[in-house]
């Protein structure tokens, strides 16, 4: 444990770092952590030079995002302390396999979700500096009736040290294990998204449910170091927290879907000129689902932040309600 009741940390041995794969002992420990807590920290699995370069590139872009009126809607969960920011997929100098196709992450995704998982989601989360007092409500990134077994994980590559001061994400460990749509606040006509109807689940967890969970296992803010990767089961409750420091806190997110899960439509948006890099998937056992964009379509790269994790096959709502 990294701290009292914190997420499990996996420290790769020198041999594992050389082979780019965990042995059975670490693999078992990692799977236990994901199943029990819904969150896992992989220590020191990203080259620090890659981390620093990504942070420099993405940090330079932050100001332009905040001053672009067409992108002002990218505030995460509507709280103006946190923005969604597309990773620099159009820049060849930022194409690092240990970020976009990290072999340790892919190994765990295969073990946790099933053979050859699918990557079809990519974004970045930036907790803006000097936004003390602003936090997100406790929520799941899910607005539909979701499976009660592992079906999707998010790998967060942290681009700086994470602490309480700079807004390390609040996680409710173990909340993923039994949570259903009944834990979520129903949406209304005013709050529904995409093709929802009033009564469907919003992201937010009901306040009374949150307080009951607090008595069982209070939330934590997991500390991390740059070069680490946090893996979160999509069902795990979490919340963005205030950043009281003087520097933005950025993490890149790459999503992995179980191969059996019936979302057939979600796609990454990637530049056609770099198709050879992304579609080769770093030689890792993962399927890349992407729409490849011509140079004239590059503005669509920002659509990679779209959280459309629901099944693409229409669901019988009456049958769904009985599940």
In a domain, 33, yes or no: yes
Rounded distance, CA 239 to CA 140, Å?
9
In a domain, 166, yes or no: yes
Instruction: Render pLDDT for 240-264 as a digit per residue (tens, 0 to 9).
Output: 888 999 998 999 999 999 999 999 9
In a domain, 321, yes or no: no
Instruction: Render pLDDT for 57-69 as a digit per residue (tens, 0 to 9).
Output: 998 888 777 766 4
Domain with 148 in it: 8-312
Rounded distance, CA 67 to CA 10, Å?
40
Instruction: Render pLDDT for 104-131 as a digit per residue (tens, 0 to 9).
Output: 999 999 999 999 999 999 998 888 888 7
Q: What is the token pair recorded at 192? A: 């529904």
Count Cβ atoms below 10 Å from residue 322 Cβ, excluding itself. 6
Rounded distance, CA 276 to CA 182, Å?
43
Residue 257 β-bridge partners: 118, 152
Q: What is the token pair recorded at 101? A: 């196709």
In a domain, 202, yes or no: yes
Q: What is the token pair recorded at 35? A: 């199943």
Rounded distance, CA 160 to CA 226, Å?
5
Rounded distance, CA 121 to CA 145, Å?
19
In a domain, 2, yes or no: no
The domain spanning residue 171 has which CATH number? 2.60.120.620
- Tell me if the pTM is above 0.85: yes
Rounded distance, CA 74 to CA 57, Å?
19
In a domain, 3, yes or no: no
Please report, for residues 35, 157, 259, the alpha-carbon distance to residue 264 in angstroms, rounded to integers and kept in the order given.
25, 26, 10
In a domain, 51, yes or no: yes
Q: Which of 151, 139, 211, 121 is nearest to 181 (CA)?
A: 139
Q: How far is CA 194 from the centre of its chain?
A: 20
Please report, for residues 95, 167, 229, the alpha-carbon distance to residue 160 in angstroms, rounded to integers and kept in the order given.
18, 11, 11
Contact 125, 156 (CB under 8 A): yes
Instruction: Render pLDDT for 67-108 as a digit per residue (tens, 0 to 9).
Output: 664 444 455 555 567 788 889 999 999 999 999 999 999 999
Listed range (28-37, 120-129, 154-163, 292-301) with the worst mean pLDDT: 292-301
SS3 category, 12: coil
In a domain, 199, yes or no: yes
Domain count, the chain: 1
């Amino acid at each position: 444990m990294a701290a009292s009741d914190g997420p499990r940390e996996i420290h790769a041995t020198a041999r594992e770092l050389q082979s780019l794969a965990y042995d059975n002992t670490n693999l078992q420990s990692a799977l236990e952590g994901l199943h029990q807590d819904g969150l896992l920290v992989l220590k020191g699995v990203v080259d620090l030079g890659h981390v620093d370069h990504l942070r420099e590139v993405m940090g330079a872009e932050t100001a332009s995002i905040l001053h672009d009126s067409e992108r002002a809607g990218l505030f995460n969960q509507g709280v103006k302390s946190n923005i969604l920011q597309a990773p620099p997929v159009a820049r060849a100098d930022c194409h690092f396999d240990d970020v976009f196709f990290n072999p340790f992450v892919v190994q765990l995704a295969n073990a946790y979700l099933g053979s050859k998982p699918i990557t079809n989601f990519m974004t970045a989360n930036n907790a803006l500096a000097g936004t003390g007092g602003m936090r997100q409500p406790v929520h799941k990134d899910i607005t539909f009736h979701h499976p009660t077994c592992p079906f999707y994980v998010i790998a967060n590559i942290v681009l700086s040290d994470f602490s309480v001061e700079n807004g390390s994400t609040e996680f409710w460990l173990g909340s993923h294990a039994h949570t259903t749509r009944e834990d979520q606040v129903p949406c209304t006509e005013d709050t529904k998204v995409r093709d929802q109807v009033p009564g469907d689940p919003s992201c937010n967890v009901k306040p009374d449910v949150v307080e009951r969970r607090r008595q069982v296992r209070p939330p934590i803010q997991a500390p991390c170091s740059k070069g680490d990767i946090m893996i979160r089961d999509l069902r795990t409750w979490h919340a963005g927290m205030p950043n009281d420091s003087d520097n933005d806190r950025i993490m890149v997110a790459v999503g992995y879907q179980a191969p059996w899960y019936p979302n057939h439509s979600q796609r990454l948006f990637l530049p056609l000129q770099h198709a050879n890099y992304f579609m080769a998937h770093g030689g890792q056992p993962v399927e890349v689902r992407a729409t490849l964009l011509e140079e004239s379509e590059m503005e669509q790269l920002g659509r990679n932040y779209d959280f459309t994790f629901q099944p693409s096959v229409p669901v019988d709502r009456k049958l769904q309600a009985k599940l």
